[in-house]
Amino acid sequence: MEVAGKNISIIGAAKSGLSAARSLVKSGAKVFVSDIQPESKLKSSLEREHLLGQVDYEAGGHTEKVLHADFIVLSPGVRTDIPMLLEAAARNIPVYSEIEIAYRMSHGRRLVITGSNGKTTTTTLLAEFCRRQFDEVFLGGNIGIPIMEFATETTDRSLQVLEVSSFQLETISAFKPDIAVITNFFENHLDRYPSYNAYIAAKKRIALNMGSNETIVLNADQQLMREMADELACQKAWFGWQVDNLKPSMTVINDEFVYTDHTGNKHRLFPTSSVRIIGRHNLENVMCAALVAILAGVANDQLEAVVKDFPGVEHRLEWAGEISGITFINDSKGTNCAASITALQACKQPLILLAGGRDKGTDLADWVAAVRTRSRGVVLFGEARDRFRSALEGLVPLKMATTFDQALATAYQWAEAGDTVLLSPACSSYDQFPNFEVRGETFKKLVKALAPR
pLDDT tens by residue, 329-340: 999 999 999 999
Same domain, 15 and 110: no
Q: How far, in Å, CA of 209 to CA of 234, rounded? A: 9
- Percentage, residues of the chain above pLDDT 90: 90
Model confidence at 139, in pLDDT bands (50, 70, 90)? very high
Model confidence at 76, in pLDDT bands (50, 70, 90)? confident
Contact 1, 12 (CB under 8 A): no
pLDDT at 187: 81
> Would the pLDDT of 279 be above 90?
no
pTM: 0.80
pLDDT at 303: 98
Instruction: Give the DSSP H/E element, type plus range, for residue 16.
Output: helix 15-26
Say which amino acid occupies 40. Answer: S
The DSSP secondary-structure symbol of 248 reads S
Instruction: Give the DSSP H/E element, type plus range, for residue 168.
Output: helix 166-169
Task: Tell me the H-state helices in 251-363.
Answer: 280-296, 303-309, 337-346
**What residues contact 397, with CB distance under 8 A and at least 6 apart?**
376, 377, 378
In what order do the strands lie in the sheet containing 249-253? 137-141, 159-163, 109-114, 179-182, 215-219, 235-239, 249-253, 256-260, 266-271
Residue 2 lies in a domain: no
Residue 1 lies in a domain: no
pLDDT at 190: 78
> Would the pLDDT of 265 be above 90?
yes
Domain final position from 93, 114, 138: 93
Domain final position from 309, 340, 375: 309
Mean pLDDT of 315-328: 93
Query: 87-123, pLDDT tens digit by residue?
Result: 999 999 999 999 999 999 999 999 999 999 999 999 9
Query: 171-216, pLDDT tens digit by residue?
Result: 899 999 999 999 999 887 878 888 999 999 999 999 999 999 999 9
> Would the pLDDT of 34 be above 90?
yes
pLDDT at 169: 94
Task: Tell me the H-state helices in 264-403.
Answer: 280-296, 303-309, 337-346, 365-374, 385-392
Mean pLDDT of 432-439: 94
Same domain, 287 and 184: yes
pLDDT at 77: 81
Same domain, 145 and 254: yes
pLDDT at 23: 94
Model confidence at 130, in pLDDT bands (50, 70, 90)? very high
Domain span holding position 140 = 100-309
> Would the pLDDT of 366 be above 90?
yes
Q: How many C-beta atoms surround the C-beta of residue 197 within 10 A?
A: 9
CATH number for position 323: 3.90.190.20
Which residue(s) pair with 378 in the sheet? 353, 398
CATH number for position 57: 3.40.50.720
Same domain, 153 and 260: yes
Same domain, 57 and 118: no
Instruction: Give the DSSP H/E element, type plus range, for residue 101.
Output: helix 98-105
- Percentage, residues of the chain above pLDDT 70: 100
Residue 322 lies in a domain: yes
Domain final position from 93, 118, 141: 93
Same domain, 132 and 188: yes
| Number of structural domains the chain divides into | 3
Please tell me whether residue 132 adopts helix, strand or coil conformation: coil
Q: What average pLDDT does the structure give for the chain?
A: 95
